[in-house]
């Protein structure tokens, strides 16, 4: 088999153990070569991040372990980040690779609001990380792409959808920012190296 990559986009404002465990779970369960974490520049779907792109990237880089890679292309591109542009670019770079774009259930449910979302499957597979009790919105246009088995999914370089039950740690960047704003510590929500950067730059505090 040629290269198999996971792609996890996010604001990472800041990155935390929820994101990192998700990346490791996907890496191991799909048998990927690496998972690329892509901080977005800005998107039309949410407010401008609090930390600068350079700060979000530095925190992400401080959090990485083998198998996880930071990919700063959306930040370098600047302006609004559209996943479709990123996947087109990655497909051009890696014509033979299996590309697997990872989404949480929340992101899947918002997918029909994404720019050119119907074309995403032309370039990559989609992996939906969810847990029991969470309702996944039916997206009829993508129903036929859904795989029931891992073997079927892993045979495709693009075009298929897999639902993976993955436990979600009860951590969010929003909660981390709120705690810092209130003057509290965020140790153990995110790697110690990230806490060090947050403290050094007094991020999210004032």
Per DSSP bridges, beta strands 4-10 and 34-39 are parallel
Count of residues touching ligand ATP (by CB under 6 A)? 17
Element holding 68 (H helix, E strand): strand 68-70
Question: Residue 57: how many CA atoms within 13 Å on its side-chain side?
Answer: 13
Cis peptide before 154 (omega within 30 of 0): no
Residues 6+ apart with CB under 8 A from 34: 5, 6, 27, 67, 68, 69
Closer CB to ligand ATP, 9 or 123, in the complex? 9
Q: Enumerate residues 165-204 that contact ligand ATP by CB under 6 A.
A: 168-169, 171-174
Q: Enumerate residues 99-128 that contact ligand ATP by CB under 6 A.
A: 103-104, 106-107
Does position 50 bind ligand ATP by CB under 6 A? Answer: no
Closer CB to ligand ATP, 21 or 77, in the complex? 21
Does position 71 bind ligand ATP by CB under 6 A? Answer: no
Binding region for ligand ATP (CB under 6 A): 10-13, 18-19, 22, 103-104, 106-107, 168-169, 171-174
């Amino acid at each position: 088999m040629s290269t198999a990559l996971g792609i996890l986009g996010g604001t990472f404002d800041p990155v935390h153990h929820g994101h990192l465990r998700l990346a490791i779970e996907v890496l191991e369960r799909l048998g990927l070569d690496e998972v690329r974490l892509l901080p977005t520049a800005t998107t039309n779907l949410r407010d401008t991040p609090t930390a600068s792109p350079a700060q979000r990237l530095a925190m992400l880089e401080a959090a990485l372990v083998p198998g996880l890679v930071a990919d700063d292309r959306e930040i370098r591109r600047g302006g609004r980040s559209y996943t479709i542009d990123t996947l087109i670019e990655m497909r051009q770079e890696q014509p033979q690779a299996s590309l697997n774009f990872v989404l949480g259930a929340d992101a899947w449910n918002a997918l029909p609001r994404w720019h050119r979302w119907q074309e995403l499957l032309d370039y990559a597979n989609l992996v939906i990380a969810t847990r029991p009790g969470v309702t996944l919105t039916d997206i009829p246009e993508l129903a036929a792409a859904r795989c029931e088995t891992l073997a079927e999914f892993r045979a495709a370089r693009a075009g298929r959808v897999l639902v993976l039950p993955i436990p979600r740690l009860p951590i969010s960047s929003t909660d981390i920012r709120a705690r810092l704003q209130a003057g509290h510590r965020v140790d153990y929500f995110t790697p110690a190296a990230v806490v060090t950067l947050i403290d050094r730059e007094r991020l999210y505090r004032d």
